[in-house]
Amino acid sequence: MAGQSVVSVNPARPGEVISRHPVAFATEVGEAVARAAEAQRDWSAVPVPVRAEMIARCGEALAGRKAELATLVSREAGKILQEAGGDVQEAIDMAGFIAGLGRSAWGTTHPCEMPDKIGFTTRHPVGVVGMITPWNFPVAIPSWKIFPALLAGNGVVIKPSEHAPACCESFVDACREVGIPVNLVNVVHGFGETGAALCTHSGVRAVSFTGSVPTGRRVAAMAMESGPRLVSLELGGKNAMVVMPDADLDLVVEGAIFGAFGTSGQRCTSTSRLVVHSDVAQELVGTIARSAARLRLGDPLDPSTEVGPVIDRGSAERIHGMVEAATSEGATIATGGGIVAVPGCEGGAFYSPTVLTGVHPDHRIAREEVFGPVLSVIEVGSFDEAIAAVNYCEYGLSAAIYTRDINLAMRAVHRIDTGIVYVNAPTIGAEIHLPFGGNKHTGNGYREAGSRGLEQFSEVKSVYVDFSGRLQKAQIDNRDAVEASG
């Protein structure tokens, strides 16, 4: 109701309030859409290279605020400082990449089947784009959506996660201070009702959502019920790292620790499953478990901290419930497996880095997204069994294989059903110039980042120009006449 607020707190010390923002209901969302629509009419008339130059300036503004923003990301999202700085740097890099697209091809040309006629494609903005973003990359993900949407000529209304509203506000402020029109990018805060109002508003012509599969399905259903709209979904992952007997095991240990426990396992690409050949499983898993047990949990602002908190106490309890359910199905806890109290971080939502052995592909812990620092070990006896285990879930975002055999690696790339595959690297580490997204229930076919990142924010128009000076009848059997005229 009126007067409600979104209250952002530090997940390491939830008694520390970072910011408060009024909740936007349907009326406020409608006002934001109207402002964006009015500003978009002028913005769409700005030449694309000029839009690109303004986006480049946004990147410069973010670079100037990098230390300040990284500290805010660390406080609000619980990322350790090095990861928080990487979050901001990704937004800076995205600004530079998208700015470069401002002078690249905006379409393609095609030969036509009749003489003195040419065909080409071009792109046009959709109008106003509604965006719903998560808290785990509170600066980077808004940049992945806002910058290509602006380059395409759109207005924006964005609802950030209620866990990271201040990061989004600071990101948008940095863009405004270098000339992005104030009403072109609007931030609204709230919960499910705010998101629903944004998805169903008649003035919103495209919706871009990053989050969980259940919420994404609701977003898509709401948006299309009152559509038509472009709806792009970037949903969950259950990412697997395959380890073959010939792999460099020291490299595997490093990759597994970073992939599974970096960002406290709260990346959509985090390494959640270790699919390891039985020939090396005992030695490898023991080393990983010992390494995980040595990781230092603590205040993410402390440079010595290696693993920060999960986003809130409810998440820690949900993760613990999944670990307990896994043991009831037969899994064994090799290390971790509990909520941890960290000195100096009273009430903080910390979960110990956890390694589970004895997991089977059909176990719940191997099929459902944990979104926490939990690595499930699945032993296999062959390459074919490993590939089957990787593909045995509804997600298809990221996967990795460790092997010295290039032929085996390329067969894995061909057979693994994910949108991203790494060879001799963990399942995290996507770069902004390649398309990002997944298969199966992970998404609905769109890709973010790379040159394809424009697709969800623009519509293709096909143009035919006939300069023959006469009527040339198309889509009838006129081949003889065309050949005769030639």
Q: What is the mean pLDDT of residues 121-131?
A: 96
- Give me the half-sphere count of Cα atoms (radius 13 Å) on the Cβ side of residue 369: 24
Confidence grade of residue 484 (pLDDT, cut at 50, 70, 90): low
Confidence grade of residue 295 (pLDDT, cut at 50, 70, 90): very high
Q: What pLDDT digit, counting tens, does each position of 129-146 carry? A: 999 999 999 999 999 999
Please answer whether residues 262 and 370 qualify as being in contact, where contact means their C-beta atoms are separated by less than 8 angstroms: no
Q: 């409608």: which residue's tokens?
A: 30
pTM: 0.94
pLDDT at 226: 80
Please answer whether residues 352 and 372 qualify as being in contact, where contact means their C-beta atoms are separated by less than 8 angstroms: no
Please answer whether residues 389 and 240 qualify as being in contact, where contact means their C-beta atoms are separated by less than 8 angstroms: yes
pLDDT at 481: 57
pLDDT at 101: 95
Q: What pLDDT digit, counting tens, does each position of 186-244 carry? A: 999 999 999 999 999 999 999 999 999 999 999 999 988 887 788 999 998 999 999 99
pLDDT at 2: 59
Q: What pLDDT digit, counting tens, does each position of 363-414 carry? A: 999 999 999 999 999 999 999 999 999 999 999 999 999 999 999 999 999 9
Query: Which CATH superfamily includes the segment(s) 239-423?
Result: Aldehyde Dehydrogenase; Chain A, domain 2 (3.40.309.10)
pLDDT at 444: 86
Query: Which CATH superfamily includes the segment(s) 5-235+443-463?
Result: Aldehyde Dehydrogenase; Chain A, domain 1 (3.40.605.10)
pLDDT of residue 439 exceeding 70, the answer is yes
Please answer whether residues 349 and 311 qualify as being in contact, where contact means their C-beta atoms are separated by less than 8 angstroms: yes
Every domain of the chain with CATH number 3.40.309.10 lies at 239-423
Every domain of the chain with CATH number 3.40.605.10 lies at 5-235+443-463
Give strand ranges (E) for 148-286.
155-159, 185-187, 206-210, 230-234, 239-243, 271-277
Mean per-residue pLDDT of the chain = 94
Confidence grade of residue 451 (pLDDT, cut at 50, 70, 90): confident
Confidence grade of residue 473 (pLDDT, cut at 50, 70, 90): confident
Residues forming the active site: 268
Confidence grade of residue 474 (pLDDT, cut at 50, 70, 90): confident
**Three-point CA angle 302, 305, 311, nearest 5°:** 95
pLDDT at 229: 85
pLDDT of residue 58 exceeding 80, the answer is yes
pLDDT of residue 266 exceeding 90, the answer is yes
pLDDT at 1: 53
pLDDT at 475: 73
